[in-house]
Structure 1
């Protein structure tokens, strides 16, 4: 992976174009480490994208085929790499933006689903291709797909592994939108400009509450929401927001 930082944005570029940016277990662990180390005090956003014509073709089958494991050993390897990647993406307190420059297949599509925002070039294709190689969706796929696209659509995608385009991905709400390839950077930059103006720590708190409440009942969810809101009320971001509102000026958040 190539990692660069500019104006509050950390850009992570998957840089195995000859392999369509397929992920080895080491790549997955490295991305998990990068997300875990992202600080909302220092960053406004994280952008994930691919080098070349693909976003990511998913797991690197050649490297996976080299493992000779019993199921318990495979569990430990997956849990420490692709499983941890899903956990760190969902826990990351900095908003994650997927700049889907090309095909997002298997774990690549799951990474798109894990991102907080996703915009794709209209030439990009998607597939939950795991079933084509006798696997089930991982990297958070079984958790997130039904929540994003609905139960029946998730089953269809997971059971058939069919390919579909960016426009359909937007209709399914797997991504926020499909844009002409030449306009992708402009659309991403428009979003980043908005995120730079917003308090990143507050966004992280909202993300934490939304994700935690996905599996809770109403009473427990409302209680947790109140806990996080009471914490937000004690932050400098809240004080600045209120002060700016009362003085009829734009807020100047420090994170």
Structure 2
């Protein structure tokens, strides 16, 4: 995959167009490493996209066919590659944006659902197609998909493997928005420009609170929220935001 940094925006482009950007374990491990190195001191957001006509076709079928492993080996491989990617997306201290330039299938769709933001070109399609190769949704699919689309719809998508359009994906909250293909770059740049103007460390705290509190009981969630808010109060961004408001100007966050 190709990585480029431009004015605080890191763009990761899956670069196997000949197999529709399918993930091998090695590619997933590489993506996890890239995400783990996204430091908010220099990076404001990470954009994930694909080279060619697909975002990602999910797991590499040829790699699956050549694989010889027992259940324990499979567990360790998935844990250390695909599952680690989702861990890095959810815990990254910067926003992760999926720029869905084409079909997102299987693990590709799961990666979209794990991202903090997702924007799709009008021609993009989505499918939780694991069932078509006799597999259970992974890469966070069983955890995140029902939280976005509801349990019943998640079962429909997971158990049929049906393809849905970018319009339906937007209606289901799989993506934030779909736009004409030729406007996708513009729309994502608008978002990343806006994110770059915000205090990245404060975004990191908010993201941490939202994700950690997904499974907490409400009393525990409120306590955790209060803990992170108290940290935000002690950060320069809060002082700058208050000063800017009182002085009638736009804040200048670092």
In the other structure, the counterpart of 1:187 is 187
In the other structure, the counterpart of 2:203 is 203
Q: What is the CA-CA distance between 1:40 and the residue it aligns to?
A: 1.1
In the other structure, the counterpart of 1:156 is 156
1:224 aligns with 2:208: no
Structure 1 runs of 4+ with >6 Å offset: none
Q: What is the CA-CA distance between 1:202 and the residue it aligns to?
A: 0.6
In the other structure, the counterpart of 1:142 is 142
Q: In the TM superposition, what are the counterparts of 1:1-255 in structure 2 within 5 Å?
A: 1-254=1-254
Tell me how far apart the structure 2 counterparts of residues 184 and 83 of structure 1 sit (CA, whole Å): 28
Tell me how far apart the structure 2 counterparts of residues 14 and 251 of structure 1 sit (CA, whole Å): 35
List per-residue Cα deviations over 1:166-223 (Å, max 9, x = no partner): 0000000000011000111111111111101101111111000000000001100000
Tell me how far apart the structure 2 counterparts of residues 171 and 139 of structure 1 sit (CA, whole Å): 22
Q: Is 242-251 or 1-10 further displaced after alignment?
A: 242-251
SS across alignment from 1:55: strand
Q: What is the CA-CA distance between 1:41 and the residue it aligns to?
A: 1.5
Tell me how far apart the structure 1 counterparts of residues 216 and 235 of structure 2 sit (CA, whole Å): 26
How high is the TM-score relative to the length of structure 2?
A: 0.99
The unaligned stretches of length 5 or more in structure 1 are none
Tell me how far apart the structure 1 counterparts of residues 137 and 204 of structure 2 sit (CA, whole Å): 26
Q: What is the CA-CA distance between 1:29 and the residue it aligns to?
A: 0.6
Q: What is the CA-CA distance between 1:65 and the residue it aligns to?
A: 2.0
How high is the TM-score relative to the length of structure 1?
A: 0.98
SS across alignment from 1:229: helix
Q: What is the CA-CA distance between 1:61 and the residue it aligns to?
A: 1.2
SS across alignment from 1:97: strand
Q: What is the CA-CA distance between 1:113 and the residue it aligns to?
A: 0.5
Aligned alpha-carbon RMSD (Å): 0.6
Tell me how far apart the structure 1 counterparts of residues 44 and 76 of structure 2 sit (CA, whole Å): 33
The unaligned stretches of length 5 or more in structure 2 are none
SS across alignment from 2:81: helix
SS across alignment from 1:138: coil
List per-residue Cα deviations over 1:46-86 (Å, max 9, x = no partner): 00000000000001011122221110111001100001111
Number of positions where the alignment pairs a residue of Structure 1 with one of Structure 2:
254
List per-residue Cα deviations over 1:127-175 (Å, max 9, x = no partner): 0000000001000000000101111110100010000100000000000
SS across alignment from 2:173: coil
